[in-house]
Structure 1
Amino acid sequence: MRRAERLFRILNEMRTRDVIRGSELAERMEVSLSTIYRDIAHLQASGLPIEGEAGIGYLLRPGFELPNMTFTHDQVDALAIGLAFVERTGDPMLATAAQEARAKIQAGLPNPEDRKLADAPFYSLQIQNSAPPTVSLVREAIRQRLIVEIDYRDGEGQSSERSVRPLVLWNLTDGWMFSAWCELRRDFRTFRFDRIEKLAVTGTVFEDDDTKGLRAFLATEPCEGD
């Protein structure tokens, strides 16, 4: 990693933290602690409002803003691939959001005409299945932590009414699915959108629960589908 890129990343890390220790920065940047001390000293000498000292931690005073976004060529390629994927998920709202995000990022790049995200040679060949309208409802429910009620038909054709805590969406070759904590089964379950006969987002907010949240779900074995 070039020093200029490392200095930028150090500033970006400090913007997201109240206080950060030099050892944490060294681990994240994959350099020695002495290198971090030299980088911090260089930034302070350049007039940046960084307070703190070695062995205690560093703080970037509020009010400092970074200049236009700077990305490496690899980072621009990663953004191009990710945006291309999102545009082809079949969710119109996400596709529009990806196009808007591309425009914002492009405008923030230094010398934007030198490297256009729209011209990056990466494309995503996505499944033909368009996202059903209920995907956007579940996305909003995940964001606001709202209970979702569904009438669901399982793989054997049996129907049941479920009250679930939606946690994560999946866009797979088989189509769209979402995983949730199911109150009926008292366990994590994954539901296929093409088997949902009815879906309604309630106004009930579910509280944070370490045993029923996304982290707990990801720590389990692949959960059983319904």
Structure 2
Amino acid sequence: MRRADRLFQIVQYLRGGRLLTAKTLADRLEVSERTIYRDIADLIGSGVPIDGEAGVGYLMREGYDLPPLMFNRKEITALVAGARMLRAWGGSEMALAAEEALAKIEAVLPEDARRRADEVQIFAPNPFWFSDDERKVIDRVEKAVERNQKLVLHYEKEDGTPSVRTVRPLGLWFWGKVWTLVGWCELRENFRMFRLDRMNRIEESDPFKPERGKTLADFYVIRNREC
């Protein structure tokens, strides 16, 4: 969790008006008590009205709220529509994260802006052919991209021929119905794109370090030249 997200969560927990110990906050946020003490001190230093002390607990004085986020109508529409699309088409963890992010934003929106968010008439119905297993594949591949972890793909090519590839996963592309993985294929020693719905099995392999000529930025350079 990013530090900014953790500070936000601490404020949200303390807004409940109950006395919370550093240990309770540390357990909820999966960090050390020392980290909580440091975060609380920084929040107090920035003007957040938190009362309490180490070993006793902390609470927030009534009347404090986070400053309202100011979004115009088009920005609110984009945020709500984007979250709904991820809920419909993203991986399970992506969908949950989008929903939680939207809830956080709505919690600090002024009343009129919150009402506009509820009135957004853009929807993304869940596709009946998009299974939970496919969502889990998206999550696994996305984690491998984030962690720079090679994947061994048991893959079915367009003509139905099976293939096994060791790939450096670099990024995910969504085409409106199909997700594809952009990666460096160690068999072909070149960039390749793999459809996630043709991956019969995935195995996590060794971590890798980005190398010149094998990064997503290099892929974009080559693609732009071809276009």
Q: Using structure 2 for the length normalisation, give the TM-score.
A: 0.62
Kindly report structure 1 stretches of 4+ aligned residues shifted beyond 4 Å.
Answer: 62-66, 125-128
**Count of paired positions:** 162
Residue 157 in structure 1 maps to residue 166 in structure 2: no
In the alignment, structure 2 segments of 5+ residues that lack a partner are 1-44, 49-65
Residue 123 in structure 1 maps to residue 130 in structure 2: no
Name 1:206's counterpart in structure 2: 208
Q: How does 1:79-158 map to 2 (within 5 A)?
A: 79-89=79-89, 91-111=91-111, 114-124=114-124, 128-130=128-130, 132=134, 133-158=136-161
Offset, 1:103 = 0.6
In the alignment, structure 1 segments of 5+ residues that lack a partner are 1-61
Cα deviations by residue, 1:49-89 (Å, 9 ceiling, x for unpaired): xxxxxxxxxxxxx9599933221222111111211211110
Q: 1:122 to 1:174 in 2, by over 3 A?
A: closer
The whole-number CA distance in structure 2 between the counterparts of 1:143 and 1:171 is 17
Name 1:216's counterpart in structure 2: 218
The whole-number CA distance in structure 2 between the counterparts of 1:100 and 1:109 is 14
Name 2:67's counterpart in structure 1: 67
The whole-number CA distance in structure 1 between the counterparts of 2:143 and 2:112 is 33
SS of 1:122's partner is coil
SS of 1:168's partner is strand
SS of 2:89's partner is coil
| Contact persistence 1:138–1:166 (CA under 8 A) | yes
Cα deviations by residue, 1:95-149 (Å, 9 ceiling, x for unpaired): 2222111110001213367535243222235754416121110011111111111
| Contact persistence 1:147–1:166 (CA under 8 A) | yes
SS of 2:182's partner is strand
Q: Please tell me the root mean square deviation across aligned C-alpha atoms, in Å.
A: 2.9
Larger helix proportion of the pair: 2
The one-letter amino acid of 1:201's match is E
SS of 1:71's partner is coil
Q: 1:165 to 1:114 in 2, by over 3 A?
A: closer
Q: 1:146 to 1:64 in 2, by over 3 A?
A: farther
SS of 2:218's partner is helix
Name 1:3's counterpart in structure 2: none
Residue 182 in structure 1 maps to residue 182 in structure 2: no
The one-letter amino acid of 1:158's match is T
The whole-number CA distance in structure 1 between the counterparts of 2:210 and 2:68 is 37
Offset, 1:197 = 2.2
Q: 1:126 to 1:177 in 2, by over 3 A?
A: farther
| Contact persistence 1:146–1:201 (CA under 8 A) | yes
The whole-number CA distance in structure 1 between the counterparts of 2:89 and 2:185 is 26
Name 1:50's counterpart in structure 2: none
The one-letter amino acid of 1:160's match is S
Cα deviations by residue, 1:161-190 (Å, 9 ceiling, x for unpaired): 211111111232452221111111111101
Q: 1:157 to 1:163 in 2, by over 3 A?
A: same
